[in-house]
Amino acid sequence: MKNIFTTGLLLLAIISQLAAQEEKAFIHENVKALWKSASIFKTPESVYYCKKQNALFVSNINGKPLEKDNNGFISKLSLDGNLIKLEWVKGLHAPKGIGIYKERLFVTDIDRIAEIDIKSEKIIQFYNVPGAKFLNDIVVDVSGRIFISDMQANTIYLLYNGVVSKWLEHEDLKGPNGLDIFKEFIYIGTQDKIVRADKNNKMHSDYILNTGGIDGLTCLADDEFIYSDWSGNIYYTKLGEETEKLLDTTPQKINAADFGYNPESKVIYVPTFYDNRVMAYKIKY
């Protein structure tokens, strides 16, 4: 009897495991899966689409998000998911958000910002950010002003002409992470909403509420956004309308971190963090 009971438990465990494996990701009818890379990355946190390079840059934490271990690096990937160079640039701790201005790539690295020369594939310099705790996303405007979120210090920093300063700090900014720019406004994804701030006078206000925590943020128009929540969900939202879920890979325990976006092809490139891949999806918005 004992053997029969044990065998029964084993069969139930196997059936449960198989059922869990069969759980599929939810994909909205306006979303089409294109490709997924090989599982070659090391905790990929952010993907940046670079039109001039016709390529994707991927930040790899390769360790713990706040550990200064010098293990982090940037990868370069083709737009069809083929690896160009895994360790395109090394010498970082835990790189996250990426932005590009002219021929330089800027990436957050815990409490500093690295400036990388794209042509030579070398780190030019680091900018220390006094008081920084957890630098995360980066967005760059046409004049070269680089805005950086710190999700633990509830602050947006500015790097401009080689000088770092505190640009915006407010109680409304709870866990600021994803950033994007549209015209004269910076859109800031926080723990529960999107905040809009004027680039010129720093006036800011709540814009879209009840979003849940935001990781990646892309502005399609001044009232239209796509955002991810890191856990595995990606959403589409428009001011005054109901939010739509575009993707849910949480049943597969696949994260959706700071995605890149190609506005010409309407493709999003999602870093899967612990899953160590990049996945591409075409959207119809």
Share of the chain above pLDDT 70, in %: 92
CB atoms within 10 A of CB 23: 12
In angstroms, the CA 165 to CA 155 distance is: 11
Do the domain assignments include residue 20?
no
Bridge partner residues of 230 (DSSP): 256
Mean pLDDT of 173-184: 96
pLDDT tens, residue by residue, 157-174: 999 999 999 999 988 899
Do the domain assignments include residue 57?
yes
Would you state the pLDDT for residue 19? Answer: 46
Mean pLDDT of 189-195: 97
Mean pLDDT of 199-226: 96
Residue 97 has pLDDT above 50, yes or no: yes
pLDDT tens, residue by residue, 233-273: 999 999 999 999 999 999 999 999 999 999 999 999 999 99
Do the domain assignments include residue 13?
no
Residue 187: exposure state from Cβ atoms within 10 A (0-12, 13-18, ≥19): buried
pTM for this predicted structure: 0.91
What CA dihedral angle connects 126, 97, 66 and 250, to 10 degrees? -170
Bridge partner residues of 282 (DSSP): 32, 267
Tell me if 257 sits within 8 A of 44, measured CB to CB. yes
Mean pLDDT estimate for the chain: 93
CB atoms within 10 A of CB 103: 11
Mean pLDDT of 220-238: 97
Tell me if 248 sits within 8 A of 233, measured CB to CB. yes
What CA dihedral angle connects 7, 13, 18 and 21, to 10 degrees? -160
What CA dihedral angle connects 10, 13, 19 and 25, to 10 degrees? -140
Would you state the pLDDT for residue 21? Answer: 46
**Looking at the 3D structure of the chain, how many domains does it have?**
1
The whole domain housing 79 covers: 25-283
Would you state the pLDDT for residue 12? Answer: 52
Do the domain assignments include residue 130?
yes
What's the CATH number where 119 sits?
Answer: 2.120.10.30
Tell me if 245 sits within 8 A of 229, measured CB to CB. no
- The least confident of 17-21, 32-36, 98-102 is 17-21
Would you state the pLDDT for residue 259? Answer: 98
Token pair 């044990």: residue = 6
CB atoms within 10 A of CB 233: 20
Would you state the pLDDT for residue 171? Answer: 82
Do the domain assignments include residue 14?
no
The residues, any chain, with a CB within 8 Å of residue 47's CB and separated by 6 or more, are 56, 57, 58, 77, 98, 258, 259, 260, 269, 270, 271, 278
15 pLDDT band (50/70/90 cuts)? very low
Do the domain assignments include residue 249?
yes
Residue 225 has pLDDT above 70, yes or no: yes
HSE (side-chain half, CA atoms, 13 Å) at 240 = 2
Residues 85-100 as b or e (16 or more Cβ within 10 Å = b): ebebbebbbbbbbbbb
Would you state the pLDDT for residue 232? Answer: 97
DSSP state for residue 21 in the 8-state scheme: H
4 pLDDT band (50/70/90 cuts)? very low
Amino acid sitting at position 85: K
DSSP 3-state assignment of 38? coil
Would you state the pLDDT for residue 24? Answer: 87
Residue 7 has pLDDT above 70, yes or no: no
Amino acid sitting at position 184: E
Do the domain assignments include residue 125?
yes
Do the domain assignments include residue 85?
yes
Mean pLDDT of 14-40: 78
